[in-house]
Amino acid sequence: MNSPVFQVFDELLRSPRAVAERSRAGGDLRPLFVAALSALVLGAGVFGATLATSRGGLQLLYSGVKLPLAMVATMLLVVPAFHAIAAGLGRPLSFSGMIGLSLAAAGRGALVLVALSPLIWLSFDRGLSYHPGVLLAAGCYALAGLAALDLVLRGVGFHARGFVIVTLFAGVLLTTGGQTAWMLRPFLGRPSDASVPFFRPRESSFWDALQQSSWSSVGVYRATRRLSAAEQRLTGPRVEAPDESR
C-alpha cells in the first residue's frame, strides 16, 4: 500500500467529514477504495476470528474468512438501494461516489470492530456462554454500524432529509446484512457440534434467530418452528437445548 492509501486509512478514523466530502466530490477515488476495502477485509477478518475463539481450531480460519465475505457481499447488495433512495429523496450523487461512501463507511465500521475484538476475546475467555455471546457480538455490530452510518450521514448531509435517507438505508442494510451473515454462519460455532462445518443448512431467518437468542440468553428455550404442527402433535414441541445455537 502506498502513502495516499495510508493517509485515507488515517482519515477514516480521524476525519470522516473529509472522507465523505472526497466521496461526494468524485475525482480519483482509487486510494479511498483500496484503503476502505483493506480496512474492511482486515477488520472484519480479525473480528470474525476473535468471535471464533469461543470454539477455536478450524472455526478461527472459517470465521476470519466468512465475516469479511459477508460484509463485502452486503455492500454489493445495498449500494444500489442507497443510490436509489438518495436519488429518490433529492440527493442524487454519482454511483462511484456512493460506492466510495459506502465502502468508506464499511471500512470505518470494520475498524471499530477491531477495536472491540479484545472485549469479545476477554468475554469468551472469562467463560461467556454462547447466547449472551451472540448478543454481545450483535451489540458490537450495532456500535460499528453507528460509526459507519455517521460517515454516511456526513456524505448525504446533516439535515432532516439526510437523516431520513440514512434511516431508510440503515433499514435496508440491517435486513440485508443480517440475512447475508445468517447464510454464511456459523461464526461462533455450535458448542454441541463434534466437527466444524463451513456453512450450516438454511434454517428460518436471521430475525427468527436473533429473537430466539434473546429469549435463550435469559434462560427461555422456546420450541423451534422447524417441526410441523402435525409432528409436534405426535412428538411434542422440540425444545431447544441450552447449548444449541444457530
Partner 1 sequence: MEQSLPNISSAAPPSLGARLTSSETQSARHELARLGAGLGLAALYGLALGARSGGMALVEHAIAASAGLTAVGVLGMPALFVLLALVNAPVSPLAMLSAGACSLASAGFVLAGLAPSVALLAVTIESPEAAAFVTRAGLTLAGGIGLYQLTSAVRATLKGLSPTLRFKCNALLFGFCVFAIMLAARVWYALPILKGVA
Count residues contacting partner 1 (CB under 8 A)?
A: 42
**Residues 178-237, interacting with partner 1 (CB under 8 A):** 179-180, 182-183, 202-205, 207-208, 225
What nine digits make up the cell of 134?
Answer: 451472540
The 46-85 site mask, x for binding partner 1 (CB under 8 A), equals ------------------------------xxx-xxxxxx
Is the CB of 20 or the CB of 116 nearer to partner 1? 20
In whole angstroms, give the CA distance from residue 169 to residue 181. 18
Q: How far is the CB of 97 from partner 1 (least distance, A)?
A: 8
**Residues 7-36, interacting with partner 1 (CB under 8 A):** 24-26
Residue carrying the nine cell digits 435517507: 165
DSSP per position, 176-221: HHHHHHHHT--SS--TT-SS--SSPPP-S-HHHHHHHHHHHHTT--
In whole angstroms, give the CA distance from residue 147 to residue 108. 7
The 91-110 site mask, x for binding partner 1 (CB under 8 A), equals xxxxx-x-------------
| Beta-bridge partners for 223 | 239
Question: Which of 183, 179, 245 is CA-nearest to residue 216?
Answer: 245
Q: How far is the CB of 228 from partner 1 (least distance, A)?
A: 13
**By CB under 8 A, residue 176 contacts partner 1:** yes
With a CB cutoff of 8 Å and minimum separation 6, the contacts of 224 are: 212, 238, 240
* Binder among 38, 123, 129, 175 for partner 1 (CB under 8 A): 175
| Residues engaged in binding partner 1 (CB under 8 A) | 24-26, 76-78, 80-95, 97, 157-159, 168, 171-172, 175-176, 179-180, 182-183, 202-205, 207-208, 225
